[in-house]
Structure 1
Amino acid sequence: MQQASHRVAIVTGASSGIGQATARHLARVGYQVFGTSRRPAGNGGQPFEMLALNVTSDDSVEALVREVMRRAGRIDLLVNNAGFGVAPAAAEESSLDQARAIFDTNFFGLVRMTRAVAPHMRAQGSGHIINIGSVLGFLPMPYMALYSASKHAVAGYSEALDHELRTMGVRVSVVEPAYINTPFDANLMAPDAPLAAYRAICEKVEQRVRQVLVGADGPEVVAEIIVKAAGARKHQLRYAPGLAKRMRLLRRYAPASVLDAGVRKDLRLEG
């Protein structure tokens, strides 16, 4: 892994969880790191600076990037981590407004940041954009349809974008973790159009998910992969840390019927 030498990084959603761990690790290997949050409350003793950012606002995104360029003069690494989780719910239990809200943060927020940062990376002829996806971006989970869809969008966007930017010295990667025990999972968005028909099964699925999260890896596992990707001499498009690596192998090589049965068995679903 290459050691950073006055390289500048932006990490969105850095107030806790994966974002905070990533910002901390990047600072330790020499990056000048700007973490972001909607309501930053100082750096809390962390080795990086926190700035305000709402990824759903064009004006906020543009202001953040201008401020980083004013202070640092360049951007070498963008980690698009900002996003929120969704409590297990049937696809039809979320209104179109809620579906748009999920995509506005988890996907379009990433697009806004990329559009604001990419011109600076192109101008300097170098840079790396690392998008935080999810195992659900390649292995959809029942009762997480909209979240899975937003992470599929992240994966597809990342792969296409890497093709577009590599001739200009800029590379793109997507990191797709599985269950990670973080505060991100403590405040999941509930469906805004709940239906009694799904109540019992969704409660069972949510209970199972929370059981798995208790024993899941912490955010440091993902942060270490991100730092590895940022400093790698040989580019890699996709990273699947921890359990996600095994799940990716299953997705690639296991028969569809076996994988389907395994998903339902793990979530205690009938049929």
Structure 2
Amino acid sequence: MTAAPQVALVTGASSGIGKAATLALANAGFRVVGTSRDTSRITPADGVTFLDLDVTSDESVAAVVGQVLERFGRLDVLVNNAGVGANGAAEEISVAQAQTVFDVNVFGLMRMTRAVLPHMRARCSGRIINVSSVAGFVPNPFMAVYVATKHAVEGYSESLDHEVREHGVHVALVQPGPTNSPFDANMVQADSPLPVYAHRRRVYDDVMAESMRGGDDPALVAGVIATAATDAKPKRRYTAGSTAARVSVLRRVAPAWAFDRSVRKLNRMAG
């Protein structure tokens, strides 16, 4: 008797890394459910079912996970990819605006995780793959709120993995570097801009635009996600792309003063 295909659910699947991840997982033999706030604009793909999902809503999360379990009878892999950037100096972003970003990047991920864990624990099997970033382990001026969300995702994921591993569930982090995707075009812009930061913010915008244009193809990151979903012995962290791998090594081995200097040089900052 042929075993039923495994089922994967990918959040933030309308474009970029999420869209590529749905295709990579489908090609790896999964039945894939891709989600987005509005899936009506997404081009259908073989092996992929699309459902509307708002990760900031408890009701929406519960409904979608329920639909997946009712339709397929199982959920083997959750890819928490939905996220939003935030561009501006820390002082320029209100607490209310920061809470909005955290609600998607951190609390949305937590909602999804809590919704799938009872099923995975009951089956003693499952993988939760959280898409982090190099910003999860390095600073990035003028993106302090976004960086804070990714640092939170890193700490949450590693702690969670220790809690659920004995129940057959593994948690992995995928850490992309700059990726050629619409991410920068959809970033939240600071709601309280200050003249004192205006020049540096414009310089950083140029750095970010150049970085994204020269970034990795989303398909490369998607391939790493598929690897994390299928590895016989899953790792805790997977860097995705040469930039992420290089920065990860540099962070571990470079003296603090040298790493600090490299961050400022990369972002064209004085001092």
Q: What's the offset of the Cα at 1:239?
A: 0.8
Aligned to 1:122: 121
Q: Name the CA distance, whole Å, in 2 between partners of 1:131 and 1:31.
A: 18
For 2:60, the aligned partner's letter is S
What is residue 80 of structure 1 aligned with on the other side?
80
In the alignment, the residues of structure 2 paired with residue 78 and residue 17 of structure 1 have an alpha-carbon distance, to the nearest angstrom, of 17
Can you list the C-alpha shifts for 1:178-218, whole angstroms capped at 9, x where unaligned? 10110122221100111111111100011111012111111
Q: Is the 8 A contact 1:180 1:219 kept in 2?
A: yes
C-alpha RMSD over aligned residues: 1.1
Q: Return the TM-score normalized by structure 2.
A: 0.96
Partner amino acid for 1:197?
A: V
Alpha-carbon deviations, 1:115-139, whole Å to 9, x = none? 0001000011100000001101100
CA, structure 1 residues 253+60, in 2 after alignment: closer, same or farther (shift >3 Å)? same
Percentage identity across paired residues of the two chains: 51
The offset of 1:86, in angstroms, is 1.7
Matched, 1:51 2:56: no
Match of 1:110 in 2: 109
Where do residues 202-213 of structure 1 align in structure 2 (5 Å cutoff)?
202-213=201-212
Give the whole-Å Cα distance in 1 for the aligned partners of 2:217 and 2:91.
32
Q: Is the 8 A contact 1:10 1:34 kept in 2?
A: yes
**Do the aligned residues in 2 keep the contact of 1:5 with 1:31 (CA within 8 Å)?**
no
1:42 Cα deviation after fit: 6.3
**1:46 CA displacement:** 1.2
SS of the aligned residue for 2:186 comes to coil
Distance 2:240 2:26 in 1: 21
Residues 1-271 of structure 1 correspond to what in structure 2 (within 5 A)?
6-41=5-40, 44-47=43-46, 48-87=48-87, 89-242=88-241, 243-271=243-271
- CA-CA distance at 1:256 after TM superposition: 0.6
What SS does the corresponding residue of 1:233 show, helix, strand or coil? coil
SS at match of 2:115: helix
TM-score norm. by structure 1 comes to 0.96
How far is 1:5 from its partner?
Answer: 5.6
1:43 Cα offset (Å): 5.0
- 1:136 partner amino acid: A
* AA at the equivalent of 1:106: N
Runs ≥4 residues deviating over 3 A: none
What is the DSSP-based 3-state SS (H/G/I as helix, E as strand, rest coil) of the residue aligned with 1:221? helix
Matched AA of 1:188: M
CA distance in 2 between counterparts of 1:181 and 1:102 reads: 21
2-side partners of 1:140 and 1:151: how far apart? 10
Instruction: Kindly indicate whether the alpha-carbon contact (under 8 Å) linking 1:127 and 1:171 is maintained by their aligned counterparts in 2.
Output: yes
Separation of aligned partners in 2, 1:146 and 1:179: 17
1:110 counterpart letter in structure 2 = L
* Partner AA of 1:244 in structure 2: A
Secondary structure of the structure 2 residue equivalent to 1:33:
strand
| 2: CA distance, partners of 1:110 / 1:189 | 18
Question: SS state of the match for residue 157, structure 2?
Answer: helix
